Amino acid sequence: MSARARRAAPPAPVPVWLAALAVLGVLYLVIPLVGMGAAVPWGRFGELIGAEASRDALWLSLRTCAAATAVDLVLGVPLAVLLSRSWRGVRCARVLVALPLSLPPVVAGLALLTTFGRRGLVGQVLDGVWGVRIGFTTPAVVMAQVFVSLPFLVITLEAALRSRPAGLEETAASLGAGPTRVLRAITLPLVVPALARGTALSLARCLGEFGATLTFAGSLQGVTRTMPLQIYLARETDSDNALALGALLVVVAALVVAGTEWTPGGRGGGPVHEDGAAA
C-alpha cells in the first residue's frame, strides 16, 4: 500500500473503555489549569505582571532559557547522533543521559553545587586559579536549566535517529560524501520534526525549572530569580501576582510546545522512508 493510501485510510476504532480513560486523563490535566485560570484577577493582569519584580523575573527567564536551549542544541544534537549508533557501552551512556529525568530537582541542584560551587570539586579550582565563581550567579541558572532539560532533546532526537532509514546515508557515503556532509544533508533533514519537538520540550522544561535553580543559584532578584521562583515567593505574600505570573507561564509554555504541532512536518509528519514519503 502506498504512503498516500495509508494516510487516506480511516483510523482503526478504539474500545469505548479506552476512549473513556483517555478523556479522563485529558480532564485530569486540563481541569486544574481551568481552575487556576478562573482564579486569576484578569482585570489587574497587566498591572501584576508589570511590577518590577515580575518584569525582572520574566526577562531573566527569557534570557536564561534562550541560552540554555542553545546549549542544549549544541551539546544535545551530537550526543543524540552518537547514542543512536551501536557501540560498546552505548546502553550505559543512554542510562546516564536519562538519569537527570528521574532525579528530584533539588538533588540535581546539590550535584551542581557540590561540583561547581565555590567549594565544589571543580568550583574550588576555578575560584582558586582564575577567580571564577559560578554558584549563585546568572550562569548558574543556565547550567541548572541545561542539566534538567538536555535529556528531553537528546531522547526525543535519538528515538527519531534510531528509526530513520539507513539506506540514504549509506548511498551518500558510497558516492563519496564525508561523514559531516552526510549528517548535514541527509541525517538531520530526516529528523527535523523530532529536533523541533525536542527543542520545544527542552525550552518548556527550562521555563519551569525551580528546584535545581534554587539550590545551585539561589533567588536573587534580577540575577537568579526566574519566573517559577518569583511565583513561589509571591504565593506567600501576593497570591494575585503569583496567579498572574503562573497564567503567563502556562500560556508561554503552551505556545512553545504547540508551535511544533502546526509547523510543516510536525508531529503528524512521521518518519521519512527511503522513497521520500512520510509514514
pLDDT tens-digit map of 57-86: 999 999 999 999 999 999 999 999 999 988
More confident residue, 267 or 159: 159
CA distance to 1, 3, 133, 265, 274, per residue, from 8 (Å): 11, 9, 59, 17, 20
User: What pLDDT shows up at residue 187?
Assistant: 84
Q: Are 153 and 72 in contact (CB under 8 A)?
A: yes
Nearest to 103 by CA among 135, 149, 63, 170: 149
- Average of per-residue pLDDT across 47-63: 96
Residue 3 banded pLDDT, cuts 50, 70, 90: low
Residue 159 banded pLDDT, cuts 50, 70, 90: very high
Separation between Cα atoms, residue 80 and residue 157, nearest integer Å: 6
Place of cell 520540550: 201
pLDDT tens-digit map of 195-211: 999 999 999 999 999 99
Nearest to 112 by CA among 79, 135, 132: 135
CB atoms within 10 A of CB 221: 14
Q: Which of 19-28, 117-126, 215-224, 255-264 has the lowest mean pLDDT?
A: 255-264
User: What pLDDT shows up at residue 271?
Assistant: 40
Q: Cell for 175?
A: 558516492
Indicate the residue type of 144.
A
- Average of per-residue pLDDT across 236-242: 93
Q: What are phi and psi of 278, to 5 degrees?
A: -85, 145
User: What pLDDT shows up at residue 172?
Assistant: 74
Q: Measure CA 157 to chain center.
A: 12
Considering the chain, what is the average pLDDT of its residues? 89
Place of cell 546539590: 110
Residue 31 pLDDT exceeds 60: yes
- Average of per-residue pLDDT across 148-177: 84
Q: So what's the architecture of 51-269 in CATH? A: Orthogonal Bundle (1.10)
Q: Cell for 83?
A: 547514542
Q: Measure CA 196 to chain center.
A: 10
Q: Are 207 and 65 in contact (CB under 8 A)?
A: yes
Question: Is 210 in a helix, a strand, or coil?
Answer: coil
CA distance to 15, 92, 153, 192, 249, per residue, from 267 (Å): 24, 29, 15, 10, 23
Residue 5 banded pLDDT, cuts 50, 70, 90: low
Q: Cell for 251?
A: 500560556
pLDDT tens-digit map of 86-112: 899 999 999 999 999 999 999 999 999
Indicate the residue type of 227.
M
Domain boundaries, the chain: 51-269
Nearest to 226 by CA among 162, 132, 155, 148: 148
